[in-house]
Chains A and B, each alone.
Chain A
């Protein structure tokens, strides 16, 4: 029962002002705080600004388990109910991080690859569509799904030598980019 207490409390806080939420924002709650987490964006805390009722812009620091970054974007909320559709687009960048600990032999990554993991950074852009549950003047939760474009850069040279043939293979500055499905959970509070 205790496990349910916190979600129920948060849900009640979110739904309590639902009646007011059906009204368009009156312009007073133009600033908010968004905390969200997802894949592949990681976690972030954003200041949110609502210049007009249907548009939000947000930006702030981001963190994933390998490093820190910055992110920002824009969201479109076409109308306002207790359950509101949200479309958003965002970009972010994680700065160079040392993830060579992954190549310590226990993670399945060959130790020879370690030099490539000492400076890894990535940039992403994402578009999401989802639903927001709660108030446009107070607390709201969101679940968004979409597509992310990733560009991951590793800097350095890895050298792998075949013990049998003596063949030496060197990889330098590999880069991976592509698209992956994306999911994001968020909590938004309007001041």
Chain B
């Protein structure tokens, strides 16, 4: 009798990962696309668009920050007793279908790109790089730049009230005009709810 009872207990505990009452939601692929994000033109007269305004003569590095409101898509993130694991799986920059006048026909002007989280606007160069892109060849004329994210970085600490600010910094060729791009960020998300905290 005892071995049977022990086996049943073990089954229950093993199934629960040690927590008696819990729920876990796994979304292996959650993609959020923000359309028509404006990348400014290379302009020596507008250092506010530069990655580091303090670096004189550095108009080729342009940065924009977009907020990804994960809390709106997964409201449980802000609930009591909820823990989560959020990873970046991919980032895609796609030339928007509708463009500003004079926009380039492709993304060939982007020499390299870096995706950062935890960027402090007051501290140029701050943040953690979670994905990067290097133009594969000088003659490449992509309309989509897709890169794999660094899945080793837990993005949870970078969430602010359910919103993840994502910084995109691109190094562009001289003379690149302003353009709009749709930025898709892919995540894997695991949300754990400890029922016990509600009792």
Contacts and interface: CB of A to CB of B under 8 A. Distances in A.
B32 A168 contact: yes
Nearest to B16: A179
Contacts, number: 87
B25 interface: yes
B35 to A, nearest CB: 4
Given A167-B33, A168-B33, A170-B29, 10 more contacts: A127-B11, A147-B12, A167-B32, A169-B32, A171-B29, A172-B27, A172-B31, A175-B25, A175-B28, A178-B21
Given A174-B25, A174-B26, A179 B15 contact: yes
A76 B33 contact: no
A87 interface: yes
Interface in A90-132: 125, 127
B36 A149 contact: no
A55 B7 CA distance: 14
Interface of A: 54-55, 74, 76, 78, 87, 89, 125, 127, 147, 149, 157, 165-180
Interface residues of B, number: 29
Contacts of A174: 25-28
Given A89-B8, A125-B11, A54 B1 contact: yes
B32 A175 contact: no
The 4 lowest CB-CB distance pairs between A and B, nearest first, are A178-B23, A149-B15, A172-B29, A168-B33
Contacts of A147: 12, 16, 20-21
A179 B30 contact: no
A175 B28 CA distance: 8
Q: Interface majority SS on A: helix, strand, loop or mixed?
A: strand
Contacts of B21: 147, 178-180
B81 to A, nearest CB: 13
B101 interface: no
Given A89-B8, A179-B195, A168 B22 contact: no
A97 B29 CA distance: 22
A142 to B, nearest CB: 17
Contact of B11 (A89, A173, A176, A180): A89
Given A87-B5, A127-B12, A178 B36 contact: no
Contacts of B4: 55, 74, 76, 87
A22 B36 CA distance: 78
Nearest to A147: B12
Given A149-B16, A167-B32, A168-B32, A78 B24 contact: no
7 contacts: A87-B8, A149-B12, A166-B36, A168-B31, A169-B73, A173-B29, A179-B22
Contacts of A169: 30-33, 73
Contacts of B11: 89, 125, 127
A78 B30 CA distance: 50
